[in-house]
Amino acid sequence: MNEQIDSVDKLEAVIGKRPPVVDLKVIDHLDETALRWLAASPLAFVTTGDAREIAITLAGGAPGFATGDRETLRLPLATIDDPALLRPGAAFASLFLAPGIGETLRINGTVTAIDADTALVRVEECYGHCAKALIRSDFWSAGRLDDAPATAAGFVDAGRFLALATIDDNGHADLSPKGDPAGCMTRMDGAALWFADRPGNRRTDSFRNLIAQPRMAGALLIPGSTQIVILRGEALLTSDAAARERFTVRDKAPLLAVRVAEPGLELRASPALERAALWPAGEKAEGIDPARMFTAHVKLNKDKGLTARLGGLVMSIPGLMQKGLDSDYKNNLY
């Protein structure tokens, strides 16, 4: 395939350099805003792994099924579809959703212990993720869907939301949300599965990880259905025009596409998704203010360099973060 992206230099030549400001939203603990988010969240995507393997599962229940304190996230094993994946010492990444909220909460770290019926995770990174993936997938507007495609390949072609799990060559895990209309999220082409990149938070962790080592896993959803497809394989990044143009939306082609050759595909029900009862969406989660959380995390970030000081100063302007998010969601979805 032409235009393979197999180095960070090639990646940055296509999508631009990672701006230092994206790291300012990352803190190393669960603050008040993150704990409030956990109390409202009925669903999480969870990945675990090490330098040799990576896996993904879902966890869910009533809002607040996961709890924590400043340094530790607690996940009851009974809420996890595949609890055996959480082993002490494993790298951990997660993505928590709150009803009616487009933004998501990401918590990364290391599984430290299984205490009775609960997995304990040492928190190493905590930050909010923008709402673009859930907006593009119309995640919260779905009704309950009981007639999802009955084959894995059919489900792939109808999928609208993907939680993409990757891990770097040092064993640090990442879990990134992807969203698009049906037919433009994931597509089968012969034995290969394809998906595209869209504008997001510009961290590019997942793509940097895939360049370092190509193993990946994913959980694919059709909003409204409690069926999921778990996919596993090795990914290749490309800027090939023909590959990208197949994913054109609103006359805009993505900057890169991802090919997973001969992926393992498992269509199955998710008890966690059933318990979470996301659709039809009820009342929007109360007390959740993503802009406030982003602002709080910038101020809590331990980086005291010039960029951090300027970022903290700018974030002190009332309403500026929300205005920036609103503008970004309106003008930069694709």
Query: Which of 40-44, 136-140, 201-205, 213-217 shows the lowest per-residue confidence on average (mean pLDDT)?
Result: 201-205
Average pLDDT taken over every residue of the chain? 92
- Our CA dihedral for 99, 267, 45, 23, rounded to 10 degrees, sits at -110
Q: Label residue 3 exposed, middle or buried (CB < 10 Å: 0-12, 13-18, 19+).
A: middle
Average pLDDT over every residue of 109-135 = 97
Provide the whole-model pTM.
0.94
C-beta of residue 73 within 8 angstroms of C-beta of residue 107? yes
The mean-pLDDT minimum among 2-11, 42-51, 96-105, 315-324 falls in 315-324
Cα distances (Å, whole numbers) of residue 116 to 18, 216, 271: 41, 30, 21
> What would the mean pLDDT of 126-132 be, rounded to a whole number?
95
Q: Which range, of 150-159, 283-292, 321-330, averages the lowest pLDDT? A: 321-330
| pLDDT for 75 beyond 50 | yes
Residue 169 pLDDT > 90: no
Backbone dihedral region of 202: left (phi > 0), alpha (psi from -120 to 50 degrees) or beta? Answer: left
pLDDT of residue 304 exceeding 70, the answer is no
**Identity of the residue numbered 267:** L
Average confidence (pLDDT) over 219-230: 98
Mean pLDDT across 274-299: 92
Residue 308 pLDDT greater than 50, yes or no: no
Look at residue 306 and tell me whether its pLDDT is greater than 50.
Answer: no
With a pLDDT cut of 90, the percent of the chain lying above it is 79
2 band by pLDDT with thresholds 50, 70 and 90: low
Q: Which residue has the higher pLDDT, 171 or 109?
A: 109
pLDDT for 20 equals 73
In CATH, which superfamily holds the domain spanning 4-287? Electron Transport, Fmn-binding Protein; Chain A (2.30.110.10)
Average pLDDT score over residue span 308-334:
74
pLDDT one-digit tens code per residue, 144-163? 999 999 999 999 999 999 99
Q: For residues 76 and 74, what is the distance between their CA atoms, to the nearest angstrom? A: 7
β-pair partners for 96: 44, 105
